[in-house]
Amino acid sequence: MVSLAAVVLAKDAERHIGPCLETLRFADVMVVVVDPVNTDRTAELAEAAGAQVFRRAFDNFAGQRNAALDAVPAEWVFFVDADERIPPDLAAEVRRVIAGRAEVGWWVPRHNFIVGQPVRHGGFYPDYQLRLLKRGRARYDPTRPVHEVVLLDGPAGYLQHEMIHYNYDDWGQFHAKQRRYARMEGRILRERGVRPWPHKFVRQPLREFWRRYVTLQGYRDGWIGLKLGVLLAFYYGFMPHWYLLRGI
């Protein structure tokens, strides 16, 4: 039978790691990648649940995922975040496609729950993620350390059944993570030689809000769609250029 490893990148995820691993028992091996400076019981709980714990100092998301691809003992790797869950119908579909299809990567639809609220528009659904990868035929682009990009040596397919993503426990967590992502994006812009032109502080947020709220129909999610449209316009459109300007 084709071997499959489920790999979870986790940092201070003790609230989620147990329930997440319970949905991954269809894999031949479960691997949890943690930063050695984790401050909670994530590693301990993962080992108690039967997972192998791989400790690696965090550099960026692409680096963590590539290290896992190099290390895990399986033909296929299914990357899952600690706050995601894999329902049984998706698990069965994963085992089925890796056993008899020519694709070397599979996009997985994801249903996001943001601060407990289901969100189905604004780019949050079906929110396809390229997570099921054949080892030796996939790498993560090292120039994209956040919002990672997979480089595939072969065709990709799309799965039908969706994973569940319990995205952000509260709005404080949302703001902290978006600030971190915006700072990373600012560094990427600086490395590419982008300059913080004044017009970008206006045009980029407006463009992102229009894309989220109008083009991707975020308005259909009601108040949370409007809130997300405004916040992501700020964090995706304005803040990376602000960090670029400040040289942070």
- For the segment 179-197, the average pLDDT, to the nearest whole number, is 87
Weakest mean pLDDT among 14-18, 20-24, 131-135, 144-148: 144-148
Residue-level pLDDT at 111: 96
- Taken in order of first residue, the domains within the chain and their CATH numbers are 4-167 (3.90.550.10), 171-246 (no CATH)
Weakest mean pLDDT among 20-34, 62-76, 95-109, 193-207: 193-207
**String of DSSP letters for 32-74:** EEE-TT--SSHHHHHHHTT-EEEE---S-HHHHHHHHHHH-SS
Q: How far is Cα 151 from Cα 104, in angstroms, rounded to an integer?
A: 11
* Alpha helix positions (H), 72-216: 88-100, 171-191, 200-209
Residue-level pLDDT at 145: 65
Q: What are phi and psi of 134, to 5 degrees?
A: -85, 125
**Average pLDDT of the chain, as a whole number:** 92
Each residue's pLDDT tens digit, 147-167: 789 999 999 999 999 999 998
Residue predicted with more confidence, 247 or 65? 65
Neighbours of 232 (CB within 10 A): 21
Q: How far is Cα 79 from Cα 106, in angstroms, rounded to an integer?
A: 11
Residues 129, 110: contact at Cβ < 8 Å? Answer: yes
Tokens 């965090």 locate to 58
pTM assigned to the model: 0.84
Residue-level pLDDT at 36: 80
Q: Parallel, antiparallel, or unpaired for β 52-55 and 150-152?
A: unpaired
Residue-level pLDDT at 137: 96
Residue-level pLDDT at 73: 87
Q: How far is Cα 32 from Cα 21, in angstroms, rounded to an integer?
A: 9
Residue-level pLDDT at 78: 98
Task: Give the closest residue to 37 by CA, choosing from 64, 18, 56.
Answer: 56
What residues are paired with 32 via a beta bridge? 8, 53
Each residue's pLDDT tens digit, 32-80: 988 887 678 999 999 999 999 999 988 888 999 999 999 998 999 999 9
Neighbours of 174 (CB within 10 A): 19
Could you give the C-alpha distances from 47 to 9, 52, 53, 207, in angstroms and in order? 14, 6, 7, 45
- For the segment 89-114, the average pLDDT, to the nearest whole number, is 96
Radius of gyration over every alpha carbon of the chain, rounded to an integer in angstroms: 19
pLDDT at 91 over 70: yes
Residues 85, 19: contact at Cβ < 8 Å? Answer: yes
